[in-house]
Structure 1
C-alpha cells in the first residue's frame, strides 16, 4: 500500500460514510476520510494515548513491512492470541490498522500515514558514527587457515568423497593444530572457498586459490564469513545492512529488529532471539561490527560498510612480523603474527612440525624437493630465508639446501608425447622407446601412469601439460554489493475491500451462524451484513432488520426489512459473508 488514499480507496464506497462516522465522528467522502486519518496532530495524540504494548505492536508492523499475516504477528508480538486480537481491534477502532477482505485471515495493514511517526520513534535508537567512541578491533587474520594449508602439504591426508578426511587424517590434523585452532571449522571453510581439492585420493591445496587467500583474505574473509553466516536465512545480510546503514544503532534494537525478521519467516521468537545474539557476537568477533566501550551501541566497520555498499574491498592494513628464527638444526621458529603470504611460502619449503604461538617448521630434503616441484629454485629459497631470518643464515643451512637441490632427477613431458629425462635412466619405466639420448616416447593415453611412476621414484616432473589438474581461483561466493529482494506493495482484494481491523466480523460456520441472527431478532437490533448482490453477484453491504427465521430444505433463511431497498427481502443465511460490527 503506497499511501493512505490508496488504502481508503479500497474500502467500498457504500462503507465510507459508516466508517468515517465510526472513526472521526462525521460523514465524509473518500478524500476527506484519507485526509482526516492522515492528520499528523491527530495521529500524535492517538499514539500518546496508546499503551506501550500497543505502540510496540505498531512498531513491529512497521518493521515487518506494514502488511503482515496474523500468524506472523502471533509469533513475533509476545502475547496471547486474545490479547493480540484485542489490541488490534482497539487500534482498528482508531483507524490505525486495517485488514483486507472479509475472511478475518487476511494480512493486517498498517495505516501508511504512520510511517513517518514510526521512523521518528525509531530514531532514538540510532546515532551518528561520531557521537560515541568506538572500540578498536584487533583481528588475528588468516594465520590459522594458512597454517592448516601448510599442515596438509606435509600430511598427505587421504579423504572420502566430498573431501572428508578419514579418521587418521582428522587425528593427524588434531595432533598438529587442535591446541590453537578450530580444526573442523577451518578445514570446512577451506573446502568451501575452493582452496582444497582431491588428487589421487589425497587432500591437496590448490596453489592459485591458496595464494589468493593469503594475499587478499584479510580484507575479504570477514565479509565472506558474514555472508555465509546469513545463508540459512536468505536476505538476512541485506536486512542487516538496511537496518544499520552508515549509522550507529543500539544493539538491543538491532537484535529486536532482526529477531522479528527471522521469526516472521521461520522460527519462534525465542529461537530467533538466540540465533541473532549468536550472530551478533560472531560479527563482532570478525570485526564486521564495531561496538562502543559499553557494548550498548554497534555499527558497521568503515571498510565493511564500503564493501557492502559499493562492492569494493579495501586492502587490509595490518602490522605483521616479518622475522623468523632459523636455527642450525634446520628448524625455523615462526611467530603467530607472521605475514600470511610469507607463511604460505614457508609451508612450501619447510614441513610444519607443530602449530602454536611460536610455530615450528623443519627444512628437510623432502620439503626442498616439494619447493622445487612448485617452481622454486635454490637461489629463490636462499633469498627468501635470508629475507625473513632475524639473524644471519647459518652456513650449514645453506650447504644442506644447496646439496638437496642437486640430488633430484628431472623429467619433462612434452606434446607428442615424449619424456625428456635428466639423471639416471634406471628411473625410467621398462618398455619405453628411447628416441634420442634421454628422450623417450610415451605410448598413447599412458601419460598419467608414467607420471605417477616417476613421482614414486622421486623424479621431479616439470609442467606436464594436460597431466596436472587444472588450477582455479578462490571462490568468495556471494558477490558484493548486496542487493535486496524486490519489495512489493501490500495488495488488498478489490473484490472484498479493506476495513479497519475488527469492524468486520466473519461469520462462523454451523449453528453459531444462525444463532447470531436469532439474537438480533430477539433483541430487535438491525445489522449491516455483507451479502452477494441478488444472491450470487459481487459483495455489497446491506442494512437489515431481521423479521423471521425459517428453514427451507434444511437450509436457514431470514426474512428481513432492508433499509437500502425500503422493502422486505429473503436472505440465504449461508451466503452472508460477514457482519459489520456496530457500537
Structure 2
C-alpha cells in the first residue's frame, strides 16, 4: 500500500480523508482491517464508522510492533494534530526513516490520517492506551480539578530533597503508579518521602493503597527523552547447525511423530474412547491412550488434537465414542512424507490450542482434550508469529528459544502473557513435529511456512529410504534399523510390541504378541513365513518353537454369543475351566458336553480367560474364528469444530466492495441504515426472538445490545449458533470465542448488513 501522507489535500474529517483515498488504497485497507469488511459496508461513511470503533481499533493495535506502538503512544500524549517533524523531535533516538515507516504503517491501518504537516490520531484510540510510554494521567484527570495548574508543580521540582527527587524519577521512568507501604498513614510524623510528595502535589493518591505521578511531572523529569528510549527490534544471537546434523534431527522427529500418531490411533481403534457431555475426552481415557502409545499426557493431547484437525478421528454416528475415520485408512497407505504433510498442515492451520488441555477455565473446570473449549481462533496467528521470523534466516541458523520469544513479544506487545504462553507452546509443538530442530528451522518446516509447492519432496529428502527387513536377536527382540515399508510395519505392529523408537525401532516378540496375531487370524505357517522372509539374521530356534507351541494351544477354547458360550472338544479343559476359582464371578455352567455358558459379555469372558492363562479364540455365530467380537468401526469424518465462517476477502472481492461503496457514496452519501429494535432489559420481545431465529436459519451475523449482570451495556457483533432454553449461543467477535447470552438481557438487535 502506498503512503498518502502529504500528497493529498487537507481534509477536515476522517470520513472526508477516506473519500480522498484511491480505490487501490481502500482495497488494501480492507485487507489490513478485515473485520470492517464483513458484512459489506454500504458506503464510506459506514466504513469510517467501523474504523473508529474501539473493538476494531484494538484489533488493529494488536498488529503493531513495539516500535510503531511507541509512535502511537507519543501521539496520544502530544496535542493533535502534530507535524511529522515535531513528532520526530520528541521521539529521541528514532531514526527519520524508521519514523516515516511507522507513520506510513499507521496510515495504512487507518489509525492516523491527515498530511505530514498535520497528522491526526483517530480519537477513539486514546482511551485504549492506558499509560502511554509509561506516563501517568494528566493532572486535571487525576485531581478532577479543571483549573489545576501543572506548571506550578513543574516549577517546584527544583526544591525537592534528594530522596523525593529519586522517588519521583523512579515513577517518571514508568510505571507511574506506586503502592503505599503497609501501615502507612497520611499523618505520619515526621513525614516520610511519600507524605511530603503528596503534600506538595507531586504525587496524587488515587485510592487507599496507590499513588500516581501526573503526566506533566513525568515529562518534565524525563527531559530530552520524554517518550523514553526507542523500542528497537531485538537482534537474536545466532548459532549454526550443520546441514547433515539438522537433517538427521529432522528425520528422527518426523519418524517419531508419525510412529506416535500411528500407535495412538491404533490404540483408539482397538478400544474406542467415550465422549464426555462437553464433547471432549475423559481423563481416564486420555491416560490410557497415552500409556498404550508410550507418550506423556501432554504429547498425547497434542497428537489427538492434530489428528482431529486432520480429520483422522471423529465422533461415531451414535455420538458416544471417539474413533478413527475412514481417512485414517487412506493416511496409513500414503508415503511417509505425505503423512507428515497432512499432520503438519493440519497443526499449522488448526483453530484449537492443545496446550490448554489440563488447565482450568474461569469456573475452575478442567479443560479436556478434543473439547470445544480448546477452540482459539487466534492459535494459527500465534504459531506463525513465533515461526515466521525464522524463515528470514539462512539454512541452519539457530536462535535460542528465549531470544526468539523476546522477538515475538516485541512484534506483538499488546497481545499479553496469554499470547506469549501460546507462542511458547507453539515452539514446543513445532519441535515435536520436526518443524524446528536444534533451534533451527528445518527444510520441511521452511517449505511448510512459505507454502512451497514441492513440500512433500522437501520432506522426502531428509527421510532415510524405507527398508523391508529386520534383525531378529536371540532374546526375541527385532531391530528395524530404519523406517519400514508400510506393509511390514503393519504386520510387525500385530505380531510384536514396540520397546523403543527413533532412528531405529526395537520390537519385542512375546507370548502375548504372538497370541494377538493368532487372534487376528494369522496361522502358524504365516508367522514362520513372515520372520523367514524379512529377517536378515537367522530366525532363532526358540522363536520357531514358541510359535508352534502357542498355535497348538490356541483355539482350544472358543467364545461366542449365546449370551456367551464356551466350547471345546477337550472335555478335560472344560472341566478345568469350570473348576477355576478365578472365573467364579462369570457363573460358568455346563450346557452340554464340551459347552459352557455365561451371562457375562463375550469380551469380558475373553479377557478373563486370557488373564487366567488360557488361550481362547473368538468365533462368530457360525463357528468361524475371527479377530475379535467387535468389527472395526469408523467415524463419519465430519468436522465437529468448524473454522470461522467468514474468510478473508479476495483481491477481486475487495475491489468490488470498494466500487459498491463509491457508488453508494456518490449517489446519496446516506448514513448507515439502522434496524435497531428498542428493548427493555429483562423483557424478551417476540420480534427479538424472531430476528435471532432468522439469523440462525440464514447463517447471518447480528449487532446486539447486551446488558450484563453488573448492569453494564455493550454493543457486540455476533454470529448466532443456537437458541435454546432462553439462551443464545453465538460466536462473539469481540472476545473471539463462542459465548452464551441470556436472551432477556439482549436489549436490541441489528441486521449486520444494515
TM-score w.r.t. length of structure 2: 0.39
User: Which of structures 1 and 2 has the larger relative contact order (alpha carbons within 8 angstroms, sep 6+)?
Assistant: 1
Larger radius of gyration between Structure 1 and Structure 2: 1
- Structure with the largest fraction of strand: 1
TM-score w.r.t. length of structure 1: 0.48
